[in-house]
Chain A
Amino acid sequence: MSSIAMPTTKTWISARDHSDSLRPLALAAPLLLLLLFSFGAPIVALLSRAVYEPTIANALPLTIAALRQDSGAGVPDEAVFRAFAIDLKDGQAAGTVYEFAKNLNTRLPGARSQVLRVARLAAQDQAITKEAMIKAAPLLGEEKSWSAIRVGTNRFTSFFLLSAFDLRWTGQWTIGAVPADQAVFLRVFGRTFLIATLVTLATLALAFPLAYLMTNLRPAMAAIVLVLVLLPFWTSILVRTAAWTVILQKYGILNDLMLWLGVTSDRIELMYSRTGLIIAMTHIQLPFTLLPIYSVMRSVQPSQLRAAQSLGGRPFTVFRRIYLPQVMPGVLAGCLLTFILCLGYYITPVLIGGASDQLISNFIANYVNAELNWEMAAALSFVLLASTLGLYITMTRYLGLDLFKMG
């Protein structure tokens, strides 16, 4: 009888499973909401700037309507110019013409002052002719200007994302490379990934033997070594970078030491060079690679290694077949962590790297701070974020690594 009242074992377990998976989620809800609103939403809002750019469309309502009538390509007729003049006049009155001019200047270098000049004329003279406008702004008489305006009137744009890959629209349906003297971002992305790779390998080369040493030290000694590793970890990245400046500069400690020891005969240039940058970044990133490796190495049972050896395994075979597979998750996690963090380095390249060692973050910062071209910054950020996520997904999928499970 009682078996009827009781739920079956199976449903009982699945019900418990269900509430078990929901409860932690409910506990984490405040954090998830915070992340969504303070982290996710602003990122989406900023990144959307890479594809949504309504400035030109908002500034030229009449011109857009007139251009729709004028179907031909190239320099349009008098009617479009008249609409353009009225739009500029309105923009001049509303104070929005400046932002339009600056925006057009991004796509059409040199357009800024010419547009503003025409806007001033249009505000004074209601009946300004096409001829007079082209005289004041020679760019308006050129085909490329009007194709830039036509493209710009579209609120959704691929201009910035294409620019992030050094590409541009060369015709209505064709995409080509930008001129060589304007191509910069592919090289910078390549450099960012190269430096991140080199730093990751350097930290691995240092961290692996060190972590092994720490697992085999007496606990008291291991604790001291751990503190020595962590001490710089707790110091601000800016302070550590500044400290490296003192060490690496031409008349700095390292050069003094090497001259005194007779290692070098002349002072070598370490500041503002890639070597210096990689040295400093390796130092800053070392704990990030080391700690996951160390935590995994500690969990490897020495008895397994001894068993393998007693069964006749040579030291290298034991290392390769017993030890390495067990510590591999830690190695991969540490390397991935360091690699991803390196992709976003900003202050160290600024202070220690040379002009040709600036990473993608430096360019994003330049577009945000100096150029006020947040659309371009958003496009570059999008590419960086997408490639980082892509890398993470590839690593977790194909190498069976899960950072969340690493703890």
Chain B
Amino acid sequence: MKSVCRTNLLALAGAAIICQLQPVGAEELTIMATGGAWQAALRQAWFEPFAKKAGVKFNEQEYTGELGKIKAMVETGNVPIDLVTVETSTVLQGCDAGVLIRIDYSKVADRSRFLPGTALDCGVGIDVYGDVLAYDTTVLKEAPTSVLDIFDTKKFPGKRAMRKAPAQNLEWALMADGVPIAEVYKVLGTPDGVDRAFKKLDTIKKDIVWWDAGAQPPQLLASKEVVMTTAWNGRIQSAIDQDKRPFAIVWDNQIVEYDMIAIPKGAKNLDLAYKYLAYVAQPDVGAQLGRFIPYGPVLSDSTPFVPKDVLPKLPTAPDHMKNYLVGDVEFWGDHGEDLVKRFNAWLAQ
């Protein structure tokens, strides 16, 4: 009896060890994204279906979108992630600093299938989002009609929130100051244009609350800390659809931007990372994200697969594309550091 018991125990212990080892043997893919409602949507639209299809374990991490963390990983030679989501301007920066690898598009998809500006050397576009204006309909009696109304403190008194960065805000400032959309980056490229933009921002400076993370604008509106805020359209739509908040989005003069996915240098599961990129770049799969958060596809052949009820909520809906500006990545690659410093100096004054 005694000896049988012991063998059983040994077998159990052995089974336990095998059970613990098994996930290590299975292939794993680790992605780092910027969290919130967006990452939840990515999970439902792409991470989980891919994990099931490819039979891999999908690990997730979160970060604030700043490259410093990835640079530290690459410099210390300890890169625990295989994929990372980044903004377009960050892709350029990471590319220059040698933190992100150059994408081999032969392993992903035909580059011409992507919308212009969404298939970059170091980053593959995954969705189109809009920088828009959002407000609480129960707070503002009169609805703003353009993002540029954020500069009108007479008609819309009270605190307003903007992202704590020069990008978008300087563009909007020039647009509000009467610069035609087509000439915004040309004007902003001159010292006079920069002065002009900051002068316009000066007019509302004391009324601005600054946000850093994409999850903040809906919170600022919900706590009634501000009467209106600039925001990423999907975050506001999620608050409207899922949390039943009485918010509304103003699309006129939105700035259209792209989210990107990139591979950090030294990623351990390179082949699997490419498999994931190729999976998401299929026309039908690429349209799935829109079902969970209203961000548009970056593949020109994905549009027919976007559900009909989602289309009007996208930044690319015809109604939303009357007046819009496309963010200029190259411009911010050149002038980003300089303008951020000037912006910080301006904030401190």
Contacts and interface: CB of A to CB of B under 8 A. Distances in A.
A and B are partners in one complex rather than unrelated chains: yes
Interface of A: 95-96, 98-99, 101-102, 105-106, 109-113, 181-184, 187-188, 191, 249-251, 269, 271-272, 350, 354-356, 358, 363, 366, 368-374
B223 A251 contact: yes
Contacts of B67: 369-370, 372
Contact of A369 (B66, B164, B330): B66
B345 interface: yes
Interface string B144-160: 00000000000000010
A266 to B, nearest CB: 12
Interface in B290-349: 330, 333-335, 337-338, 340-342, 344-349
Contacts of B71: 372, 374
Interface string B59-83: 0000010111101000000000000
A113 B99 CA distance: 18
Given A181-B346, A182-B342, A249-B225, A370 B334 contact: no
A35 B162 CA distance: 43
A272 B337 contact: no
Given A368-B68, A370-B68, A355 B96 contact: no
A105 B337 CA distance: 8
Among all A-B residue pairs, the 8 with the closest Cβ atoms: A369-B68, A109-B338, A369-B66, A98-B96, A184-B345, A102-B96, A355-B347, A368-B68
A365 to B, nearest CB: 8
Most buried by B among A101, A102, A350, A363: A102
Contacts of B159: 269
A106 B339 CA distance: 11
B223 A250 contact: yes
Nearest to A249: B223
Nearest to B210: A355
B306 to A, nearest CB: 33
A110 B335 contact: yes
Nearest to B225: A250
A271 B342 contact: no
Interface string B9-25: 00000000000000000
10 contacts: A96-B98, A99-B96, A105-B337, A113-B333, A183-B345, A187-B348, A251-B223, A271-B225, A356-B347, A374-B71
Given A181-B345, A369-B69, A110 B97 contact: no
A374 B99 CA distance: 14
B348 A350 contact: no
Contact of B98 (A98, A350, A363): A98
A39 to B, nearest CB: 17
A184 B341 contact: yes
A18 B144 CA distance: 80
A320 B228 CA distance: 56
Nearest to B226: A250
A271 B346 CA distance: 20
A98 B57 CA distance: 35
B282 interface: no
A110 B337 contact: no
A356 B225 contact: no
B348 A356 contact: yes
B30 interface: no
Given A109-B335, A112-B96, A372-B93, 13 more contacts: A96-B98, A102-B97, A184-B344, A187-B348, A191-B348, A250-B224, A251-B223, A251-B224, A356-B348, A369-B66, A370-B66, A372-B67, A372-B97
B61 to A, nearest CB: 16
Contact of B96 (A101, A181, A356): A101
A109 B97 contact: no
Contact of A181 (B68, B208, B342): B342
A188 B189 CA distance: 27
Most buried by B among A96, A111, A112, A188: A112
B212 interface: yes
B215 interface: no
B233 to A, nearest CB: 23
B179 interface: no
A110 B334 contact: yes
Nearest to B331: A113
Nearest to A373: B337
B209 A272 contact: yes
Interface string B180-210: 0000000001000000001000000000111
Nearest to A112: B334
A142 to B, nearest CB: 14
Contact of B337 (A96, A371, A374): A371
Contacts of A369: 64, 66-69
A105 B330 CA distance: 13
A184 B93 CA distance: 23
Contacts of B69: 369
B248 interface: no
A207 to B, nearest CB: 31
B239 interface: no
A109 B337 contact: yes
B334 A188 contact: no
Nearest to A188: B348
A355 B208 contact: yes
Contacts of A183: 345
Given A95-B98, A350-B212, A371 B340 contact: yes
Contacts of A182: 341-342, 345
Nearest to A98: B96
